[in-house]
A = this chain, B = another copy of it.
Amino acid sequence: MKKQSWPLHDVRHWLEPGPVVLLSSHWQGQNNIMTLGWHTILEFSPSLVGCMISAGNASFSRIRQSGECVINLPEASMIDTISRIGNCTGDDVDKFAEFGLTTEKSDKVSAPSIKECFGQFECRLYDDAMVDNYNFFIFEVVAARVNPQPEWPQTLHYVGGGVFRTDGDVLERKALFTKVS
């Protein structure tokens, strides 16, 4: 994969459809990964993403204390790894080693990116005002890169109960948009 820079104001192209993502983090010499499905775009510029990271995850305190993470976008073909990452804890397991994933140096954060994922969105914690009450982290995406091919990779969308849906057809209705955003 030869990933290319992606405009920060258009991170929504990848995350708004609601894909399952892998959050990678780094704290006190240890890397970790978690699977996440509860996130939403919040703003174009600055490029803000909100993530609900349950406090039960080993990643919760690591991300809060380091103030950084990377949102990695995996293709649907990684479904087994995605499922397994979500069903063990970084307190017991080095998930990069356990699942044969490769750390890739990030541009702007100390958290590593996951080389096998086709998209990476490096994040800094922007506002933690909702963390105590809702475990809801507001991140600013400070660097983004995506593998340019295929144009429409298959991602996963979680529905609970160990079941995912993939992406389907692409439908275009530009003519109905008065201001395209």
Residues in A lying within 8 Å of B, measured CB to CB: 10, 12-14, 16-19, 37-43, 48, 50, 52, 76, 79-80, 83-84, 86-88, 127, 129-130, 133-134, 136, 138, 152, 154, 156-181
Checking B13, B43, B134, B165 against A160 with a beta-carbon cut-off of 8 angstroms, the contacting residue is B13
Closest to A76 in B: B171
Contact: A18 with B177, CB < 8 Å?
no
Contact: B10 with A160, CB < 8 Å?
yes
Chain B residues with Cβ below 8 Å from A165 are: 17, 152, 167-171
Q: How far is the CA of A16 from the CA of B52 in the complex (A)?
A: 12
Contact: B163 with A171, CB < 8 Å?
yes
Contact: B160 with A79, CB < 8 Å?
no
**In angstroms, how far is the closest chain B Cβ from the Cβ of A81?**
10
Chain B residues with Cβ below 8 Å from A177 are: 83, 86-87, 161-162
Contact: B172 with A162, CB < 8 Å?
yes
List 7 contacting pairs A-B, 8 Å CB cutoff, sorted by A.
A13-B161, A17-B18, A18-B157, A38-B42, A42-B136, A162-B176, A162-B177
**In angstroms, how far is the closest chain B Cβ from the Cβ of A155?**
9
Given A37-B16, A41-B52, A136-B42, A167 and B160 touching (CB < 8 A)?
A: no
Q: How far is the CA of A158 from the CA of B18 in the complex (A)?
A: 9
Given A129-B130, A158-B17, A170 and B164 touching (CB < 8 A)?
A: yes
